[in-house]
Amino acid sequence: MRLFVGLDVSSFDMKGCVLDQDGARLDSFSVTNDLPGISELKDRLLGFIVEKEIDNLKIGLESTSVYSFHPSMYLHHDDELKKHNTQVYVINPKQIANFKKSYSDMNKTDEIDAFVIADYLRFGRNKMSIVKESQYVALQQLTRARYHLIKALTREKQHFLQHLSFKCNKFTEEVESSIFGHALTELFLEKFSLEELAHLPLESLAAFLQEKGKNRFPDPEAVATQIKKAVRSSYRLDKVVEDSMDVLLGSSIEIIRSLQKQIKEIDKAITRIMAGVTQTLDSIPGIGPVFSAGIIAEIGQISRFGDESKVAKYAGLYWRKHQSGRFTAEDTSLSRQGNQYLRYYLVEAANSVRRQVPEYQEFYVKKYQEVPKHQHKRALVLTARKLVRLVDALLRSHQLFSPERSVES
């Protein structure tokens, strides 16, 4: 006999519903979302197993961030429940919401939601199980934190450029050197006014750049010349406005450096964990431990997916079809759904791989030339979709990458 348990989880409690294989409600209950509560839940389930002679127990929870993480991991790894063929599933809330629409006149309560989750399991629509290995859980926390830091870094750089355009509106046009390099950021931290920079001797400015750039500039005088040209061509600000821009530029620089430092620390932690993970994705040129971690931490066990198209759909790397009667639209948009973290790491990995593997660079160029606008973004996403086939093949076969056996587009 099979048993289906739906759990609606919040920060403080869990509402549960137990159904048998025929859909009869055997029990409804509420326990606290903590160690005593989950222990009480386990004992209740073990009692059902003995009483009803259960040979298969399925437990479902909606994926509700940290609230469902601890109970799902506890139930999945419990040795007593494992003996009774227990399977734990973390389900996308959208799937539950869509399934619930098939019921008419159903209210929104935690007890009803628990019933819907249990019934969803009973109909056999559960496709996604929780990630099993603790190392994948650790990697996922690190790679997701890194993702948010990268987004924060990108936003802060945009703010910096806005402040810089106020202070010296021609700077980004005239100066070819990296705006965020150490030498130039040190120059901004000095809070020179435009008039001071305009009158600063070229040799002194070049020497400053060479010193702060740790002698990495091949031609510091050329960069100094570009800076002075930008200064001469830019509008002048009132002193009070220019002083405020100096404060904002300095603040942005400190934030950017802090974020970069944190990202480096997380990358080190990811690399340490990845040293103990058996995988072959980093055999692909351009994919190191960080991109590998970001991909496998979100995919988990590749056996969860029927084929590579399912992986692509999970990542949101697919295009919706628009068809009515005999009409089928040729220009459709990329799906806005899917796992944003997996999509990010696949796209970033694809951008790196295309620079290392000729086949992927040729594919990127081909797709780039097919359209007149959004060329890079479209070509990169399509290259990431192509990369999914290779990632899927390597994760299933556990083989190393070789150009001769690369997956065809």
Residues 43 and 78 sit within 8 Å (Cβ to Cβ): no
Tokens 């480096």, residue located: 264
Question: Helices 134-167 and 340-353: crossing angle, nearest 10°?
Answer: 70
Q: Whole-angstrom Cα distance, residue 108 to residue 143? A: 34
Question: Helices 289-299 and 134-167: crossing angle, nearest 10°?
Answer: 120
Give percent above pLDDT 70 in the chain.
Answer: 90
H or E segment at 8?
strand 2-9
Q: What three-state secondary structure class fits 196?
A: helix
For residue 323, give Cα distances in angstroms to 98, 108, 258.
Answer: 22, 34, 49
Beta-carbon neighbour count of residue 186 at 10 Å? 15
| Predicted confidence (pLDDT) per residue in 238-259, tens digit | 999 999 999 999 999 999 999 9
What pLDDT is attached to residue 405?
A: 56
Query: Which long-range contacts does 252-258 make (Cβ < 8 Å, 24+ apart)?
Result: 252/156, 252/157, 252/159, 252/160, 252/163, 253/160, 253/185, 253/188, 253/189, 255/156, 256/153, 256/156, 256/157, 256/160, 256/180, 256/185, 257/185
Q: Which residues of 16-25 are buried (b: 16+ CB within 10 A; e: fewer)?
A: bbbbbeeeee
Q: What is the pTM of this model?
A: 0.82
| Predicted confidence (pLDDT) per residue in 215-228, tens digit | 888 899 999 999 99
The band of 314, judged by pLDDT with boundaries at 50, 70 and 90, is very high
Residues 139 and 202 sit within 8 Å (Cβ to Cβ): no
What pLDDT is attached to residue 325?
A: 45
Beta-carbon neighbour count of residue 33 at 10 Å? 18
Mean predicted confidence (pLDDT) in 295-322: 85
Burial class (CB within 10 angstroms; exposed 0-12, middle 13-18, buried 19+) of 134: exposed
Instruction: Check whether 9 has a pLDDT greater than 70.
Output: yes
Mean pLDDT taken over the chain: 89
For residue 173, give Cα distances in angstroms to 45, 68, 123, 226.
Answer: 68, 50, 61, 9
The DSSP letter of residue 303 is G
Q: Whole-angstrom Cα distance, residue 318 to residue 375? A: 17
The full set of domains in the chain, from first to last, is 2-130 (3.30.420.10), 138-271 (1.10.287), 281-405 (no CATH)
What pLDDT is attached to residue 128?
A: 56
Give percent above pLDDT 90 in the chain.
Answer: 69
Closest CA to 347 of 319, 374, 382: 382
Q: Whole-angstrom Cα distance, residue 59 to residue 72? A: 9
Instruction: Check whether 134 has a pLDDT greater than 70.
Output: yes
Burial class (CB within 10 angstroms; exposed 0-12, middle 13-18, buried 19+) of 358: exposed
Instruction: Check whether 409 has a pLDDT greater than 70.
Output: no
Q: What three-state secondary structure class fits 277?
A: coil
Instruction: Check whether 300 has a pLDDT greater than 80.
Output: yes
Tokens 């839940």, residue located: 41
Order of all β-strands in the sheet with 2-9 = 25-32, 13-20, 2-9, 56-62, 86-91
The band of 169, judged by pLDDT with boundaries at 50, 70 and 90, is very high
